[in-house]
Amino acid sequence: MTTLTLTDKDTAALKADVLVLLSRTSDGDTRLVTAHGVAAETEEHINATLAAIGAKGRLNETTKLTGVPGVSAPLVVVSGTSLEDEPQASDHESIRQAVGAAIRGLKGTQHAAVAVPGPSSELAGAVAEGALFGAYAFNAYRSAPKPSSEPVAKVSVISSAARTAAAKAAAKRAEVLAETQAFARDLVNTPPNDLYPESFADKVKKRLSGTKVKVSVMEERALAKANCGGLIGVGQGSARPPRLVTLTYAPEKATRHVAIVGKGITFDSGGLCLKPATSMITMKCDMAGAAAAVAAVEALARLGTPVAVTAYLCLAENMTGSNAQRPGDVVTMHNGKTVEIINTDAEGRLVMADGLSFASEITPDVVVDIATLTGAAMMALGVRTAAVLSNNDDARERMVTAASRVGERQWAMPLAEELRPPMDSQVADFKHTGEKHGGMITAALFLREFVGDNADGEQIPWVHVDIAGPAFNSDGAHGYTPTGATGYGVRSLVSFAEANV
Ligand code: BES
Ligand code: MN
Ligand code: ZN
């Protein structure tokens, strides 16, 4: 892991291999963002150079300069923010992305320093987050790791606020978010021959042992006894049986209780309704919801957030073995409702149904589920925005706001009621698919059937986050986002729980 240090030294005094600075641009004029510890002659020199080489100051544009006066580091990287003016509090995400792009591009570097725009400790936190999020690399499966693909070993954040308690707290939070997000990324990037329900549960137990999070695992016999027809049905085509992992974080001061349910399909072949080969390639990512859930609970425990959280990881492998679930099968879920199986590739909602049933039994104040649930969500919103659907407008808005606070983009989608009747079944309570259009909404309406009532007889507030798009980046890296697993959702879940204290 990359280590993080705060310093208020100036760039002439600080010994580092690389100094990262940020630029902004307005009316074709690209110039440095004002930052602590950068001398006027340094700024003038760089501004003149940026003009001479025609730098555009756009996000993901990095410019390397050598021999810069007033800087002891031999190399300066100027990273564009796309901002027109000096950064404001609302520009944190641009700062994270710009710093992330620079640090991501500096693999193999020992020590990089980043100068923070302005005296704000919050901005120092954003810089620290961008640097640590961008420093990630997944090299566990290379036979001979190259030094040039190792993340930056040490990052110094140069800020005038370096010695304040607020900046130290912001840096600590950045470390917790980065380390837990990296854990989620690692889980998702791990090949599915090594990550399956049992090994996933083992990794979670190991990771959380000695923390304030309790872990319990239900194996297939216990699942069958508890009528978990979703997990059992989806998992029965695989040689590697399903698991339900429950995580409990219950700090004494907590007055509110959030439940989280994560989709943990360790590989989605589609089952008998087999996916085409090209659609299957990235399907190790189908457990990204469960990965985000476990990482978020770890983060909340490490941050000591005074909110109780119970998370359910619904783990199964969707395969085509001789005992695989068939279209036409009817299964009984943990809450007693019966479901006619139509398309074995709509497996996520089946395992989530059991998880939501369990979550409802503890009557939390709110239940959030997070799942790489539908290709339709990607069709609607592209691959960088999650869809949010809910039975409660207020809870949904709190989720979207919580996500935007930490730089994750979410967009509200309607639970269009007319899509519910097409799920009516001739033989069971309902089918798990319906009308061909609006697949993201149909999936959410199915999940809603498994959200129980609270003591007042009202359905528990429930928020569904479909992360099929943003969980996995099949394109090039950008900002602090690597190719492959993104760790999307960890920060939104943490932020949402914090807002529910
Ligand atoms: N895991 C997929 C959804 C998915 C697709 C996630 C692409 C990430 C990237 C899910 O299990 C699935 O196959 N959904 C089907 C549902 C359909 C059969 C009703 C889909 O979206 O096509
Ligand atoms: Mn599927
Ligand atoms: Zn799936």
**pLDDT per residue as tens digits for the range 134-190:** 999 999 999 998 999 999 999 999 999 999 999 999 999 999 999 999 999 999 999
Buried-state track 443-467, b at ≥16 Cβ within 10 A, e below 16: bbbbbbbbbbeeeeeeebbbbbbbb
- Determine the Cα angle at 380 with ends 379 and 385, to 5°: 100
Among the listed residues 31, 104, 185, 349, the single catalytic one is 349
The verdict on the CB of residue 468 being under 6 Å from ligand 1 is yes
The verdict on the CB of residue 372 being under 6 Å from ligand 1 is yes
Structure tokens that stand for 15 in this block: 């010994």
Q: Region 329-335: what's the mean pLDDT?
A: 98
Nearest atom within ligand 1 for CA of residue 440: 21
pLDDT 10s digits, 337-377 = 999 999 999 999 999 999 999 999 999 999 999 999 999 99
Please check the confidence at residue 103 and state whether its pLDDT lies above 90. Answer: yes
pTM for this model (two decimals):
0.98
- Strand segments, DSSP code E, in 356-439 are 366-371, 386-390, 410-412, 430-431
Reported confidence tier of residue 318, pLDDT bands at 50, 70, 90: very high
DSSP label at 338? E
Find the Cα–Cα–Cα–Cα dihedral 377, 380, 386, 392, rounded to 10°.
Answer: -80
The domains of the chain are located at 3-174, 195-499
The verdict on the CB of residue 354 being under 6 Å from ligand 1 is no
Q: Is 253 a catalytic residue?
A: no
CATH class of 195-499: alpha beta
Q: Region 11-36: what's the mean pLDDT?
A: 96
Nearest residue (by CA) to ligand 1, atom 13, is 345
Q: Is 405 a catalytic residue?
A: no
For residue 399, give Cα distances in angstroms to 82, 133, 348, 406: 27, 22, 21, 11
Residue count of the chain, please give it. 501
The verdict on the CB of residue 375 being under 6 Å from ligand 1 is yes
Alpha carbon distance 68, 52 (integer Å): 15
CATH superfamily name and code, 3-174: Leucine Aminopeptidase, subunit E, domain 1 (3.40.220.10)
Contact 104, 482 (CB under 8 A): yes
Q: Region 238-258: what's the mean pLDDT?
A: 98
The verdict on the CB of residue 2 being under 6 Å from ligand 1 is no
Q: Which of 459, 452, 469 is nearest to 410 (CA)?
A: 469
Contact 244, 263 (CB under 8 A): no
Q: Region 451-480: what's the mean pLDDT?
A: 98
Q: Which of 415, 409, 412 is nearest to 491 (CA)?
A: 409
Please check the confidence at residue 64 and state whether its pLDDT lies above 90. Answer: yes
Chain centroid to CA 102: how far? Answer: 21
Reported confidence tier of residue 89, pLDDT bands at 50, 70, 90: confident
Q: Which of 284, 340, 345, 488 to mutate to test the pocket of ligand 1 (most atoms within 8 A of CB)?
A: 345
- Mean pLDDT value across the chain: 97
In the sheet that 410-412 helps form, which strands lie side by side, from edge to edge? 214-218, 243-249, 308-318, 257-268, 366-371, 462-466, 386-390, 410-412
Please check the confidence at residue 90 and state whether its pLDDT lies above 90. Answer: no
